[in-house]
Chain A
Amino acid sequence: MKRATILGILLIAAAGLAAAEPAAVLIKNATLYPVTGPAVPGGDILIENGKITAIGKGLQAPAGAEVMDATGLSVYPGFIDGFTHFGLAEIGAIPSTVDYLETGKENPELKVAWAINPASIHFGTGRVTGTTAALVTPAGGTFPGMSALVKMDGWTFPEMQVKEIATGLINFPMTPRPPKEGAAVQQESKADVTSKLVDKIKDYLKEARRYLEVKNLSAKDPKVAAPAPNPKYEALAPVLNGTLPVIISVEKAKDIELAIKFVKDEKLKAIFRGCAQGFQVAGKIKQAGIPVIIDSLYTGPSEPEDGYDAPFRNVVELARAGVMLCFSTGDDPAQGKDLPHHAAKAVAFGLDREEAIKALTINAARIFGVDGRLGSLEPGKDADLFLATGDPLDFKTEVKVMFINGRKIDMANWWEDLYKKWKARPIK
Chain B
Amino acid sequence: MNKRSITGILAGLFVIAGAVSAGAADKPLLLKNGNILTISGGTIQGGDILIRDGKIAAVGQSLALPAGAETIDLQGQWVMPGIIDSHSHIAAEGDLNEMGDLMTPEVDIKDVLNPEDINIWYALTGGVTSVHTMHGSANPIGGRGIVLKLRWGVKSEELIFAGAPLTVKWALGENPKRSNMQGPGPAHYPQSRMGVEASIRNEFELARDYMRRWDEYNNKTKELGPAKKPGAVLPFPPRKDFRLEVVADILRGKYLIRCHAYQAEEMLSIMRLCREYGVKLVCFEHGLEGYRITNELVANGVANSTFVDFWAYKWEALQTMPHSAALMAKRGVLVALSSDNAERMRRLFNDAAKTVRFGGLSELEALKTITINPAKILGIDKWVGTIEAGKDADLAVFNRHPLDPFTVCEKTLVDGKVYFDRAKVLDDRKKAEDEKKKKETEAKKPKEKSNGGEV
**B-binding residues in A (CB < 8 A):** 2, 6, 9, 90-94, 121-122, 298-300, 304, 307-309, 332, 334-335, 337-338, 341, 344-345, 347-349, 353, 391, 393-398, 414-416, 418-419, 422-423, 425, 427-428
CA distance A341 to B353 in the complex (A): 11
Asked if B406 lies at the interface with its beta carbon under 8 angstroms from chain A, I say: yes
Q: For B347, list chain A residues within 8 Å (CB).
A: 298, 345
Q: Is the Cβ of B425 less than 8 Å from the Cβ of A344?
A: no
Q: For B429, list chain A residues within 8 Å (CB).
A: 307
Q: Is the Cβ of A348 less than 8 Å from the Cβ of B405?
A: yes
Told that A398-B357, A425-B295, A428-B295 touch, could you supply 18 new A-B pairs with CB distance under 8 A? A2-B315, A91-B315, A92-B312, A94-B315, A122-B312, A298-B347, A300-B122, A304-B118, A309-B425, A334-B312, A348-B406, A394-B404, A394-B405, A397-B357, A416-B321, A418-B320, A425-B294, A427-B295
Q: For A347, list chain B residues within 8 Å (CB).
A: 405-406
Report B294-308 residues with CB < 8 Å from chain A CB: 294-295, 299
Q: Is the Cβ of A415 less than 8 Å from the Cβ of B406?
A: no
Return the chain B residue nearest A350 by Cβ: B408
Which of B292, B318, B354 is in CB contact (< 8 Å) with A395? B354
Q: Which 5 A-B pairs have the closest CB atoms?
A: A415-B321, A93-B314, A334-B312, A395-B353, A344-B405
CA distance A422 to B407 in the complex (A): 33
A393-B405, A415-B321 given; A298·B343 CB < 8 A:
yes
Q: Is the Cβ of B313 less than 8 Å from the Cβ of A348?
A: no
Q: For B357, list chain A residues within 8 Å (CB).
A: 395-398
Q: Is the Cβ of A348 less than 8 Å from the Cβ of B408?
A: yes
Q: Is the Cβ of A422 less than 8 Å from the Cβ of B327?
A: yes
CA distance A337 to B343 in the complex (A): 18
Closest Cβ–Cβ distance, residue A395 to chain B (whole Å):
4
Asked if B17 lies at the interface with its beta carbon under 8 angstroms from chain A, I say: no
Q: Is the Cβ of A415 less than 8 Å from the Cβ of B312?
A: no
Q: Is the Cβ of A334 less than 8 Å from the Cβ of B311?
A: yes
Return the chain A residue nearest B313 by Cβ: A92
Q: For A298, list chain B residues within 8 Å (CB).
A: 343-344, 347
CA distance A399 to B344 in the complex (A): 25
Q: Is the Cβ of A418 less than 8 Å from the Cβ of B319?
A: yes
Q: For A349, list chain B residues within 8 Å (CB).
A: 408
Closest Cβ–Cβ distance, residue B428 to chain A (whole Å):
9
A415-B323, A418-B320, A425-B292 given; A91·B125 CB < 8 A:
no
Q: Is the Cβ of A91 less than 8 Å from the Cβ of B313?
A: yes
A308-B121, A427-B331 given; A91·B353 CB < 8 A:
no
Asked if B309 lies at the interface with its beta carbon under 8 angstroms from chain A, I say: yes
Closest Cβ–Cβ distance, residue B319 to chain A (whole Å):
7
CA distance A173 to B192 in the complex (A): 42
Closest Cβ–Cβ distance, residue A101 to chain B (whole Å):
14
CA distance A425 to B318 in the complex (A): 20
Q: Is the Cβ of B125 less than 8 Å from the Cβ of A308?
A: yes
Q: Is the Cβ of A91 less than 8 Å from the Cβ of B318?
A: yes
Q: For B118, list chain A residues within 8 Å (CB).
A: 304
A–B Cβ pairs within 8 angstroms, 15 of them: A6-B315, A91-B317, A300-B346, A307-B425, A308-B125, A309-B125, A332-B313, A344-B405, A353-B406, A395-B350, A414-B321, A418-B319, A418-B321, A419-B359, A425-B292
Asked if B211 lies at the interface with its beta carbon under 8 angstroms from chain A, I say: no
Asked if B342 lies at the interface with its beta carbon under 8 angstroms from chain A, I say: yes
Asked if B57 lies at the interface with its beta carbon under 8 angstroms from chain A, I say: no
Q: Is the Cβ of B315 less than 8 Å from the Cβ of A93?
A: yes
A300-B343, A395-B353 given; A341·B405 CB < 8 A:
yes
Q: Is the Cβ of B403 less than 8 Å from the Cβ of A395?
A: yes
CA distance A338 to B312 in the complex (A): 15
Closest Cβ–Cβ distance, residue B411 to chain A (whole Å):
14
Q: Is the Cβ of A92 less than 8 Å from the Cβ of B314?
A: yes
Q: Is the Cβ of B403 less than 8 Å from the Cβ of A308?
A: no
Closest Cβ–Cβ distance, residue A94 to chain B (whole Å):
6
Closest Cβ–Cβ distance, residue B291 to chain A (whole Å):
6
Q: Is the Cβ of A93 less than 8 Å from the Cβ of B180?
A: yes
Return the chain B residue nearest A427 by Cβ: B331
Which of B314, B323, B350, B408 is in CB contact (< 8 Å) with A94? B314
Asked if B356 lies at the interface with its beta carbon under 8 angstroms from chain A, I say: yes
Q: For B331, list chain A residues within 8 Å (CB).
A: 427
A344-B406, A347-B406 given; A396·B356 CB < 8 A:
yes
Report B406-420 residues with CB < 8 Å from chain A CB: 406-408
CA distance A121 to B429 in the complex (A): 44
Q: For A121, list chain B residues within 8 Å (CB).
A: 312
CA distance A377 to B136 in the complex (A): 50
CA distance A395 to B403 in the complex (A): 8
Asked if B76 lies at the interface with its beta carbon under 8 angstroms from chain A, I say: no
Q: For B311, list chain A residues within 8 Å (CB).
A: 334
Encoded as 1 (CB less than 8 Å from any A CB) or 0, chain B from 116 to 150 comes to 00100110010000000000000000000000000
CA distance A344 to B425 in the complex (A): 22
Report B265-306 residues with CB < 8 Å from chain A CB: 291-292, 294-295, 299
Q: Is the Cβ of A337 less than 8 Å from the Cβ of B309?
A: yes
Report B331-372 residues with CB < 8 Å from chain A CB: 331, 342-344, 346-347, 350, 353-354, 356-359
Closest Cβ–Cβ distance, residue A344 to chain B (whole Å):
4
Q: For B359, list chain A residues within 8 Å (CB).
A: 419
Return the chain B residue nearest A6 by Cβ: B315
Q: For A396, list chain B residues within 8 Å (CB).
A: 353, 356-357, 403, 405
CA distance A9 to B318 in the complex (A): 10
Which of A90, A344, A394 is in CB contact (< 8 Å) with B312? A90
Q: Is the Cβ of A419 less than 8 Å from the Cβ of B403?
A: no
CA distance A300 to B346 in the complex (A): 9
Asked if B390 lies at the interface with its beta carbon under 8 angstroms from chain A, I say: no
Closest Cβ–Cβ distance, residue B271 to chain A (whole Å):
15
Asked if B379 lies at the interface with its beta carbon under 8 angstroms from chain A, I say: no
Q: For A344, list chain B residues within 8 Å (CB).
A: 405-406
Closest Cβ–Cβ distance, residue B409 to chain A (whole Å):
10
Q: For B46, list chain A residues within 8 Å (CB).
A: none
Return the chain B residue nearest A298 by Cβ: B343
Q: For A337, list chain B residues within 8 Å (CB).
A: 309
Asked if B195 lies at the interface with its beta carbon under 8 angstroms from chain A, I say: no
CA distance A345 to B356 in the complex (A): 18
Q: For B291, list chain A residues within 8 Å (CB).
A: 422
Closest Cβ–Cβ distance, residue B118 to chain A (whole Å):
5
Interface centre among B121, B344, B408 (most CB of A within 10 A): B408
Closest Cβ–Cβ distance, residue B227 to chain A (whole Å):
60
A398-B357, A415-B321 given; A308·B425 CB < 8 A:
yes
A300-B342, A309-B125, A396-B403 given; A334·B313 CB < 8 A:
yes
Closest Cβ–Cβ distance, residue B248 to chain A (whole Å):
35
Return the chain A residue nearest B353 by Cβ: A395
Asked if B322 lies at the interface with its beta carbon under 8 angstroms from chain A, I say: yes
Closest Cβ–Cβ distance, residue A48 to chain B (whole Å):
32
Report B191-244 residues with CB < 8 Å from chain A CB: none
Q: For B310, list chain A residues within 8 Å (CB).
A: 335
Q: Is the Cβ of A348 less than 8 Å from the Cβ of B407?
A: yes
CA distance A194 to B93 in the complex (A): 31
Return the chain B residue nearest A416 by Cβ: B321
A422-B327, A427-B295 given; A395·B405 CB < 8 A:
yes
Q: For B174, list chain A residues within 8 Å (CB).
A: 93
CA distance A415 to B347 in the complex (A): 22
Interface centre among B310, B320, B358 (most CB of A within 10 A): B358
CA distance A304 to B120 in the complex (A): 12
Closest Cβ–Cβ distance, residue B316 to chain A (whole Å):
9
Q: Is the Cβ of A341 less than 8 Å from the Cβ of B403?
A: no
Closest Cβ–Cβ distance, residue B442 to chain A (whole Å):
21
Q: Is the Cβ of A391 less than 8 Å from the Cβ of B405?
A: yes
Q: For A90, list chain B residues within 8 Å (CB).
A: 312
Q: For A427, list chain B residues within 8 Å (CB).
A: 294-295, 331
Q: For B356, list chain A residues within 8 Å (CB).
A: 395-396
